[in-house]
Amino acid sequence: MPDFFISYTEADEQWAEWISWTLEEAGFKVVLQKWDFAAGSNFVIEMQRAAATARRTIAVLSQAYLDSSRFGAAEWAAAFAKDPDGLSRTLIPVRIEKCTADGLLKSIVYVDLVGLEPMEAKERLLDYVKGERRKPKTPPSFPGAVSPRPAPPASSATREAGALERFMPRIKGTITDADRRRFTRSAFAQIQERFERSLAELKQQSTTIEIDFEKIDATKFTAEVFVSGKRRANCKIWIGGMMGRDDIAYAEGSTSFISNSLNDSLSPIEVDGELRLHTTMGAMVGRSQGGMDLNRLTIEEAGEYLWRRFSSSLEQ
C-alpha cells in the first residue's frame, strides 16, 4: 500500500516531482501520475485506484490547482471524506505559492513551502508529514527585552564647548567554520536544484535533446546533454576537491569521480560580514560575467555562473 498519492495540476508538475522524490528518498512509497500511470491505461481509473489505496493524499496547493483542477478537487475531496475531522491526517495540503483556499479545504492545516530555501523546504515537508513536534533547535529571543535607552541630548553648555558625541563601534558577528560549512551545503543544494530545473527546461526545447541528471549523494551530482544522440556537454559538481573541503568544485568533460581534477572552484569568502562565493579561475584574472562580480557571488549568481559555463558550449 502506498504512503502518499500526489494530487497536482499540470502546471505544478515539477513541484509534484520534487515532493515525490523527497518523500521516497526519506523511505516513503509514493504514487505520482507522471511516474506510475502507464501508457494506455485509463487515467481516471488509475487516479481513483491510487486515491483509494494510498494512506494519505498530498494536494500540491497553488492558484492553478484551486482555479482549474477538476480532478484535483475530486482527489482532495475523496481524501477529506475519509477523514473529515483530520484525526488521521489523510489529506495534507502543501502550499507552493501564495494562494488562499476556501470552503472545506480552508479548514485543513497546510505545509507552507513558499519562499523557503531547498534544504529548509525539505526539512519542513518531512517534519510535517511525519507529524513530528516542530520545536526550534535554537532558543527564542526573550520577548520582554528592553530596548536600550537613547543617550540623553548634550547640554547646551557641552554643545557650546564644541564637544564631540561619543563614538560607539558596531561589532559584526564572527563567521565560524561551522557557518561556512552550512553555507557551502546550502549553496550546493541550490546549485543542484538549478541544474535539475534548467536541464528539464532545456529538454522541452526540442525532441532531439536528451538529458541525464544524476544525484550521486548529498555532495555530488553529474549532468549531461545529448543532441541527436551525440553528447554535447557534461560535467560533475561536488563539495570538496583540491582547493578545500568547503569548496564547490566544477569539472567539464567528465562524470567520473575517480579523478579530482577540476576546471573551477567556488570558495566561501566573507564580504562585509556576510558569506559569498568567489571563483578561483574567474577571480584570478579579475573578470566578471553577465554583470556578476566573480569575486563575491551570491548563491543564486554562483548557480547561474556554473550553469552558463556548462551550457554555453551548446550554442556553438
pTM: 0.47
- Average pLDDT, integer, range 19-24: 92
User: Is 292 in the same domain as 193?
Assistant: yes
Q: What is the pLDDT of residues 130-169, one digit of tens each?
A: 876 667 667 777 676 555 555 555 555 545 555 666 776 6
Residue 143 lies in a domain: no
The Cα–Cα gap between 306 and 195 comes to 9
Q: How many domains does the chain have?
A: 2
Rounded Cα distance between 108 and 86, Å, is: 7
Would you mind telling me the total number of residues written for the chain in this entry? Answer: 316
Buried b (16+ CB within 10 A) or exposed e, 258-275: eeeebebbbbbeeeeeeb
- Would you say residue 29 lies in a domain? yes
Answer yes or no: do 25 and 108 share one domain: yes
pLDDT at 285: 43
Alpha-carbon radius of gyration of the chain? 25
Q: Which residue has the cell 551550457?
A: 311
* 165 assigned to some structural domain: no
Render pLDDT for 34-52 as a digit per residue (tens, 0 to 9): 888 777 666 678 777 877 8
- Residue 290 pLDDT: 63
Query: Within a domain: residue 149?
Result: no
**Is residue 299 domain-shared with residue 198, that is, in the same domain?**
yes
- Would 162 be classed as within a structural domain? no
- Clarify whether residues 186 and 266 are in a common domain: yes
Residues 181 and 52 in one domain: no
Query: Do 119 and 184 have their domain in common?
Result: no
* 102 is a domain residue: yes
**pLDDT in the model for residue 286:** 44
b or e along 220-256 (b: 16 or more beta carbons within 10 Å of the residue's beta carbon)?
bbbbbbeeeeeeebbbbbbbbbebbebbbbbbeeebe
Angle at CA of residue 164, ends 162 and 169, nearest 5°: 175
Q: Are residues 213 and 294 in the same domain?
A: yes
| CATH code of the domain containing 46 | 3.40.50.10140
Residue pair 186/119 in contact (Cβ under 8 Å)? The answer is yes
Per the listing, cell 515532493 goes with 19
By the 10 Å C-beta count (0-12 exposed, 13-18 middle, 19+ buried), 113 is classed as buried
Domain range for residue 188? 177-315
Does some domain include residue 166?
no
- Distance from C-alpha of 149 to C-alpha of 67, rounded to nearest angstrom: 52
Whether 8 is in a domain gets the answer yes
- Give the domain-ending residue among 96, 130, 164: 130
